[in-house]
Structure 1
Amino acid sequence: MTLFQCILMGFLIVCAISVSFSKNLLNSVLIYMSYSLVMSIIWVCLQSPDLAITEAAVGAGVTSILFFSTLKKIKAIQIEKDKNGQKEAEKDE
């Protein structure tokens, strides 16, 4: 195992622990995305490009989009336009 792979494995462990302790849902999704991307790099290092493409597409792509849309529907995240619009409306009053 090379030094690069050891660093990637350490990063995976840090991501797994930090997603467990993160209180912000948006940060948890972003950490999960980075975990999936690092895992796809590890699959490439292990000479398995088919798994790497699948991990990148499903883990970091489709799943993250589903998480973001879910967070938006439960109003855990808001679009910046909405926040700025509300602040401007409050200033006018």
Structure 2
Amino acid sequence: MSFVQTIAKKESLKIDINSAKSKLNELSYEVMIKDSLLISLESELKKLRGKIDDCKMRLAAKKHNTYLEIERTKALMACYSKVIADNPDGVMETLSIFYTR
């Protein structure tokens, strides 16, 4: 191999190395951007999970309160039915007081 060919080969390799470095820099930049996006998405996901957990707790509390109200209504209806069965005329008199006011 002649001296000129060796120099040409060396310059060609330098160009290839510089091209590879440039490509590596581009890929590194893309990886940094993707990592940043992933971190941001993870943060948003944590916030959303927190909101979901909060909504689940509020929904469970509402279900519990609804259950308590249903049980209270059942108890009141049972009392009302018993009062009507025991003294139907007295109930009507009591109700008429409220309607005449």
- TM-score by structure 1 length? 0.31
Q: Say which structure is richer in helix.
A: 2
Q: Which has the higher contact order (CA 8 A, sep 6+)?
A: 1
Larger Rg: 2
